[in-house]
Amino acid sequence: MLVPEVVACKSPHQPSSLRAVLEELDIKPFTPESVTKHKREKLQEMMCELPPAQGEEVKEHEFDAWEYAELHRLRMDIVLRDLSGDEPVIRFWETRRGQRSYTCLQWVKSPLEKAVDVPEFVKAKAAEIATHLPGATFTVEELRSERRVYDPFLIVSYGDESYCVEVWHESNFARKCGWFSRLFHKALGSW
């Protein structure tokens, strides 16, 4: 579960710019520990969900030429697309009928302006932060397979500071993060 970080300035005399802006905007970033834990759990969850039905993992000592060729192709594809992020997790599978396949998952970072399918509420949050801190940069980190994207995060950075301030497509997102509740109450206030 993602846990909001308590945004409180370490020193009242020299608050950090980004931390102060987040506090002023009432944006509670997630703790680095909860983000790390969530990423690890999501990767594990997807590695369990993606294998083919009745597929058994092919271990490296059982690889044939096809697995080695696919492994090389996948790694070259990651290099050519210049995907920065965590190391990919690649697993190979064989069904009872002898069909072979693989799963490849990687947490990848890209600038917000290059990310696709970013919801408007996420763009609005980034714009709100940028209005108060024009030098801030925004990155989307997402778990990718070759076919799909899972649980993108919005990360805001300024100087030496970086905070994860939003996540979408995550199961039970509204309940965990409370964004729907805040949005709902904000909307009621404007009636």
pLDDT, tens digit, for every residue of 18-47? 999 999 999 999 999 999 999 999 999 998
Q: How many CB atoms lie within 10 A of CB 40?
A: 11
CA 73 to each of CA 12, 83, 107, 183: distance values in angstroms, whole numbers, following the listed order: 53, 14, 18, 44
Distance of CA 68 to the CA centre of its chain: 29
Taking the alpha carbons of 147, 152, 156, 161 in that order, is the dihedral positive or negative? negative
What's the pLDDT at 70?
Answer: 92
Mean pLDDT across 134-157 = 92
Amino acid at 93: W
Residue written as token pair 């989307």 = 140
**In this model, does residue 48 exceed pLDDT 90?**
no
User: What residue ranges in the chain does DSSP mark as E strands?
Assistant: 56-58, 84-85, 89-94, 100-111, 137-144, 149-158, 161-167
What's the pLDDT at 13?
Answer: 43
Backbone φ, ψ for residue 82 (5° rounding)? 50, 50
Mean pLDDT across 78-84 = 68
Q: What is the pTM of this model?
A: 0.73
